[in-house]
Structure 1
Amino acid sequence: MTKPTNSAREIAADVAAGRTSAVETAKAALARIEAARALNAVVTVDPERTLADAAAVDARLRAGETMPLAGVPVIVKDNIWVGGWRITQGSRLFADFIAPRDAIAVERLRNAGAVIVGIGATSEFASKGVTISQLFGPTRHPLDPALTPGGSSGGPAAAVAAGLVPLAIGTDAGGSSRRPPAHVGVAGFKPSYGAIPYGPGFAEPFFGLSVIAPIAADVADIALAFEIMAGTDPRDPDAAVIAQEAEDIVDLRIAFSPRLGLDVAVDDVVANGLVSVISRLSAAGLSIMLRDPVWPTGATEEAIMPLQHAGLAALYGDAFRKDPTVFDPDIARQIERGLSWSGTDVAGALIASAAIAHAFAAFFTEVDLLLTPTVPCVAWPLTQAGPDTIGGRAASPRAHAVFTPFVNHARLPAISLPCGADANGLPFGLQIIARRGQDRTLLRAARQIEAQLA
């Protein structure tokens, strides 16, 4: 398998200048995807449609049109509508579903000249922390096929890390497009809720938490994709205006929280790696204080999980009652739990979610950026929902996900940058969080931090 050497920016410049064509670029991407079938990062391809779309981009260029993503091959996660493509959510219920139209974000990418070359694997309904489905099987880690890239955007993240495409689009309702990038060594950005219009598409089980999330090898490509996809649209009542950049990063108040103020386990290689990162950034002139958010009593992921379970039950409970075997067993258990939650249980989870958001809001009155680990561990065996142990403690199946879900409940922007690896070369990430609406400031800061970590 030959990896592309160019970023999305470089590909667009080459295609626009006529040094290559969108069709040639698409053919090369399709060949890389075919050569990497064992990775199982891309679950659907449509070469005829892709090459026709690429030819249309070339024709637009000949007609004098300027496109910031001219000919850039992109993979879209299998829960985001791409008009005319099979989009399944990794579910047998949608095995033959053809999206009737593009999601707004996909429409904007295509208008900018991007060419969809495949659909990236997701866990069923994007509701697991590993990327596996009954339809397509497991997605493998690009550095070790015996390991998982995490989930649920494991397909898009693995595709970028393997060099199949320079840019992929995932979703993030609890860390799904930050943790997999951290595990495979690329960057993943969760925008503020509403920064990028969401839908049209499938009904969401996550109740105002999920966002469209670009994944790329570097922050500059993520920022380019964000600017193309962001902005209000009358079709999405939650779409929001995002502030312009603040001043240089040296003028920002930056905090580091080694465990996000939570009593959670972290592997030594990650904990020590993050301390080393903070030391490097401090030596580069950044003033970084040690400070934890203060959480309300009982603030845990368990307290908010009834929202996911109830959402899945509301959407798919009837199908579950007819035939539970249609579902991934873990998703079936989540639906079953959702059917058992009372209205009081769900209301309690909503109250816990709001309390987490208010705690984060109070924290960001005192700081501008928060640095934390993205993940507490490196990737684990493909056959397991999570590692057996983290930081010397027995680990629950969701212990690997501790640093990301609260950010979604506060609707904040956050990005994961690769920042180190263990002795076997398995990566982990630095998560940078900002207050809601400060996406551009966060991306600017991330570019500067990325340069210091290079």
Structure 2
Amino acid sequence: MTAAFAFWPPVAAIAAAVNAGRSTAGAETARALARIRELDGEIGAFTSVDEADAARRAAAVDARIAAGERLPLAGVPVAIKDNIWVKGHPITQGSMLFRAFIAPEDAEAVARLVAAGAVIVGIANTSEFAAKGQTTNLLHGATRNPWNTAMTPGGSSGGPVAAVASGMVPLAIGTDAGGSSRRPPAHTGLVGLKPSFGAIPYGPGFPEPFFGISCICPIARTVADTALAFEVMAGTSLVDPHSAPLPPDGGLRPDRMRIAYTPRWGLDVPVEPEVAARVDACVASLRAAGLAIVDADPRWPAGAAETGLGAIQQSGLAALHGEAWRQRPDLIDPDLGAQIAAGLTLSGADVARALLLSEEVAIAGAAFFREGGIDAAIGPTTPCAAWPVEHLGPATIAGMPVGPRGHAVFTPLFNHTRQPAISIPCGLDGAGLPLGLQIVMPRGRDRELLRVAAALEAILAG
């Protein structure tokens, strides 16, 4: 099947219609629920949909509108990833270990969405513990790519992107500790923003195995929709000691910026020729539009790849779930079991070395912008398009053998730099599958990044 691209109007238009009385939250919610019933049997985006709860939430929004409130997300149907708490809903992290868990409260980001008038219509699938780049798990099964259901949407935010790309909902919320809300949008023709670390409060929720790098992320069809959701969720909160205010918006305009084009983000890794050619064509269009784009690569410390940094995730998973895996390995996805087993073999020095490398990566990422006089950087979001749903990752890229994370090399470094990064669509490969362009800016420049992304989106769409 092919995604129903024209199904939803822009998020702001939905809210405007509900605020003005031209539509209702109830009508928009009914539309989303009907679409889910029609499509999700084939796609598997949702782990649970409580239609009665969604109707109650919509009625509450309509009552607020009738009482005179005007809400930025009035009546907008939203899917929430299955590792973010939504009070009263089963939130399982895609794991048999949590199949009976009911969230006792909302995550702060969810509470802010609800306060803004959004209607949560369902919980969207994730890989177990949001810890691999393909969305399958023992509890809920596989999520499929709406562009071609033989393919994966990537992971771990495969459920949220499939829900949006298929037209079931106009907006979804994911998480990103290594690219989980940038790569899946790239594989499904969407926009996914990983904010600066701390820009959107994280929690209350499950203990996080990804130390100090995971973010709550809006996913939508356009930069404008993504930016609206970001503004609703952003801001400090006492529930998250790492949440931090953004610095003042410097007002930097794309036509006055120095933008680095980095075809491999400074890494010696294979890229599919079609991806390289498509991204090169996008960059040529941006240069033709008058943007000042220079060729420049970040310089990363030795070992700055997931092989060097992976000990952080592995040890975190082992600390949280190692005992459960020892007792009942059959209840955990074997791909996650392998990570947990690796984590259990690590020494304290091994973990410390990975954490020190993470700090070196953060320093190098900041230096790239500061020392090079660079305002923003662009390059491919992924080195390949989506691959068959049954595989953890492609076996080869550009004819070269790669490991199970070979498809994920361009996103994790910017979790460790804590810098904002966004993926926007940049065309299709020869098989008609979407590709993404990643844009990165210095930490705290989220609003400027969104403005730059919107400008690039307009140029590439033209």
TM-score of the alignment, normalized to the shorter chain, above 0.5: yes
2:8, 2:170 within 8 Å by CA — same for their partners in 1?
A: no
Question: Where does 1:226-375 land on structure 2 (aligned, <5 Å)?
Answer: 226-245=230-249, 246-365=251-370, 366-375=373-382
Query: In 1, distance between residues paired with 2:146 and 2:239?
Result: 37
The corresponding residue for 1:214 is: 218
Shift of 1:127: 0.2
Distance 2:30 2:285 in 1: 42
Matches within 5 A, 1:375-386: 375-386=382-393
Find the counterpart in structure 2 of residue 79 from structure 1. 83
Task: List alignment gaps of at least 5 residues for structure 2.
Answer: none
What do you get for the CA RMSD once the two structures are aligned?
A: 1.0
Alpha-carbon separation, structure 1, partners of 2:199 and 2:305: 26
Letter in 1 for 2:95: S
User: How is 1:16-415 mapped onto 2 (pairs within 5 angstroms)?
Assistant: 16-37=19-40, 38-245=42-249, 246-365=251-370, 366-415=373-422
**Structure 1 residue 66, shift from structure 2 partner:** 1.1
**One-letter amino acid of the counterpart of residue 17, structure 1:** A
Deviation per CA, 1:35-62: give whole Å up to 9, x if none: 1121001111000010001000000000
Residue correspondences, number: 454
Residue type at the aligned position of 2:320: L
CA distance, structure 1, for counterparts of residue 165 and residue 441 of structure 2: 25
How far residue 125 of structure 1 moved from its aligned partner, in angstroms, is: 0.2
Within the alignment, does 1:424 sit opposite 2:427 as a pair? no
Match of 1:446 in 2: 453
Gaps (5+ residues) in structure 1?
none
Query: 2-side partners of 1:443 and 1:297: how far apart?
Result: 31
Instruction: Give the conservation status (yes or no) of the 8 Å contact 1:243–1:440.
Output: no
CA shift, 1:295, in A, is 1.2
Displacement of 1:394 in angstroms is: 1.3
- The 3-state SS of whatever aligns with 2:193 is strand
The farther-off stretch of 127-136 and 294-303 is 294-303
Deviations along 1:203-222, whole A, 9 cap, x unmatched? 00001110000000000011
State the alpha-carbon separation in 1 of the partners of residues 379 and 286 from structure 2: 13
256-265 or 382-391, which deviates more: 382-391
1:364 Cα shift? Answer: 1.2
Kept in 2: contact 1:81–1:101 (CA 8 A): yes
- 1:354 Cα deviation (Å)? 0.8
SS in structure 2 of the partner of residue 408 of structure 1: helix
- Residues of 2 paired with 1:34 and 1:5: CA distance? 16
Q: Within 1, Cα distance between the matches of 2:216 and 2:272?
A: 30
Measure the CA separation in 2 of the matches of 1:340 and 1:244: 45
3-state SS of 2:36 partner: helix
* SS in structure 1 at match of 2:283: helix
How far the C-alpha of 1:247 sits from its partner, in A, is: 2.1
Q: Percent identity?
A: 57
Name the CA distance, whole Å, in 1 between partners of 2:412 and 2:8.
34
1:151-187 CA-partner distances (Å, limit 9, x unpaired): 0001101111111111100000000000000001000
**Which one of the candidate residues 6, 10, 14 is aligned to 2:9?**
6
8 Å CA contact 2:78–2:121 kept in 1: the answer is yes
Alignment partner of 1:27: what SS?
helix
Contact preservation (8 Å) 1:149, 1:184:
yes
1:4 shift after superposition = 2.4
SS of the counterpart of 1:200? coil
Note the C-alpha offset of 1:5.
Answer: 3.1
TM-score by length of structure 2 reads: 0.97
Once the 2 structures are TM-superposed, how far is the Cα of residue 388 of structure 1 from its aligned partner? Answer: 1.9
Q: What residue identity is the alignment partner of 2:218?
A: P
Compute the TM-score of the two structures, normalised by the length of structure 1.
0.99
Secondary structure at 1:261's aligned position in 2?
A: coil
What SS is found at the alignment partner of 2:156? coil
Aligned-pair CA distance for 1:334: 0.6
CA distance in 2, matches of 1:296, 1:375: 21
Letter in structure 1 aligned against 2:391: Q
